[in-house]
Amino acid sequence: MERFDIAIIGGGPAGFTAAVYACRAGYSAIVFEKASHGGQMGITSEIENYPGFARVDGFDLAMKMMNQAKGLGAVIKTEEVTSVDIGGREKFVTTTRNQYEAGAVIIAGGAKPRLLGVPGEEQYKGRGVSYCATCDGMFFRGKTVIVNGGGDTAFEDAVYLSNVCEKVYLVHRRNSFRASAASVKRAQAKENIEFVYSSVIEEITGDGMRVTGAKLKNVESGEITEIGCAGVFVAVGRVPDTEIYAGKLDLDGSGYIVADETCRTNIPGVFAAGDVRTKHLRQIVTACADGATAVKFAEEWLTEITE
């Protein structure tokens, strides 16, 4: 079984930063990614709040971070972690392909899209229902789509899709937005984005093969309307990807791994970094900061177990 000083679960900004710091400190490090590089950052079209880059494509930034980690010697594996055995002094990580041993584990698995849970969502997933505008937007060129949500992701998705699609409806359950003023302003300047306030999607409708529309309910009047569209982009937030740690690590009521600014969890030698941990601000910079911090405290643990 291959052994690394630090096993890092998740290849987003927290995971790659942890790998950079681990390798520069002289530790061997392996990063496990589920599917694509960069996590949520990797599917963000434009990032304007990462210092040093006035505007950068999320995938490009993800590749830069990954290549930096790789260049310093980190091993990057596209293998989904299916279980962990982290209670003892030595830690074990099992993936879809292998089992690995590690001195410390940094969990940086981020979060996955929150589902709407309405009829039609599951049936038309990948057939008009999408959770990633930059991945799937091109399939809706010249068509009408709905973006659901009122946060930064929904607004960025709407602006991105407005450049590809004929028309974008931005459906939000309230009449004020969680998204930053800058994101809202940019979307409001787009002539082909129409805002539908105080409304929720009741059902995603289709012809059995593909999405053809969505039934909306106005939460104030109760009125039901239907919008014809070829796609529904769900951008209603994210939930932590922590099922495999339930019963092993302390999680909060929403499933985030309980860890403070040191990134230490309730199990010695196991750290949580980035969006997956309990924290106030989930951004790329704060995820990077966690990656660095987690390595600092992992170093303490590794020193302790080797003395």
Nearest to ligand NAP of 21, 160 (CB atom): 160
Active-site hit among 135, 207, 252, 260: 135
Q: Which residue has the tokens 């909060």?
A: 252
Is 23 considered catalytic here?
no
Q: How far is the CB of 101 from ligand NAP (least distance, A)?
A: 34
Among 24, 89, 97, 174, binds ligand NAP (CB under 6 A): 174
Residue 121 makes contact with ligand NAP by CB under 6 A = no
Among 39, 42, 137, 151, binds ligand NAP (CB under 6 A): 151
| Interacting positions 78-117 with ligand NAP (CB under 6 A) | 114, 116
Among 236, 251, 263, 287, binds ligand NAP (CB under 6 A): 236
Q: Is 296 helix (H, G, I), strand (E, B) or coil?
A: helix
Of the candidates 236, 237, 238, 240, the residue with the CA atom closest to the CA atom of residue 249: 240
Q: How far is the CB of 295 from ligand NAP (least distance, A)?
A: 23
Q: How far is the CB of 289 from ligand NAP (least distance, A)?
A: 15
Of the candidates 16, 25, 27, the residue with the CA atom closest to the CA atom of residue 69: 16
Q: Is 9 helix (H, G, I), strand (E, B) or coil?
A: strand
Is 132 considered catalytic here?
yes
Q: For strand 91-95 and strand 199-206, is the pairing parallel, antiparallel, or unpaired? A: unpaired
Q: Rounded distance, CA 275 to CA 42, Å? A: 14
Binding mask 188-217 for ligand NAP (x = CB under 6 A): ------------x-----------------
Is 136 considered catalytic here?
yes
Query: How many CB atoms sit inside 10 A of residue 137's CB?
Result: 21
Q: Token pair for residue 175?
A: 């009449």
Q: Which residue has the tokens 């105080």?
A: 198
Class of residue 228 by CB neighbours under 10 A (exposed 0-12, middle 13-18, buried 19+) = exposed
Q: How far is the CB of 23 from ligand NAP (least distance, A)?
A: 28
DSSP classification of residue 138: G
Q: How far is the CB of 147 from ligand NAP (least distance, A)?
A: 10
Catalytic residue numbers read 132, 135-136
Contact positions vs ligand NAP (CB under 6 A): 44, 47, 49, 114, 116, 148-154, 156, 173-174, 178, 200, 235-238, 282
